[in-house]
Amino acid sequence: MEIKILGTGCPNCISLEKRVRLLVEKENIQATIIMVKDIMEIMKYGVMSTPALVVNEKVVAKGRVPKDSEILNWISV
């Protein structure tokens, strides 16, 4: 599984990255986590407000930090 956090480094972007990493580790999920900070790359996903979360190339959340339960729902296999 590939998880991308799209964000330029704002506090919410950093928070989302930390939460995703903790949940992946806690739940022992096999995933590659990538932080995408390049605005041109972010725009390729049609995202205009960050942070955004992309799971296996599908945008599942944008413009907010989702709850842990939502994140787990998207990344649990």
CA atoms within 13 A on the CB side of 55: 15
The pLDDT assigned to 77 comes to 66
For the chain, the domains span: 2-75
The pLDDT assigned to 71 comes to 96
Q: Letter for the amino acid at 10?
A: C
Domain spanning 2-75: CATH superfamily:
Glutaredoxin (3.40.30.10)
Low-confidence stretches of the chain (pLDDT < 70) are 77
The answer to whether the beta carbons of residues 8 and 50 sit under 8 Å apart is yes
What is the pTM for the complete model shown? 0.93
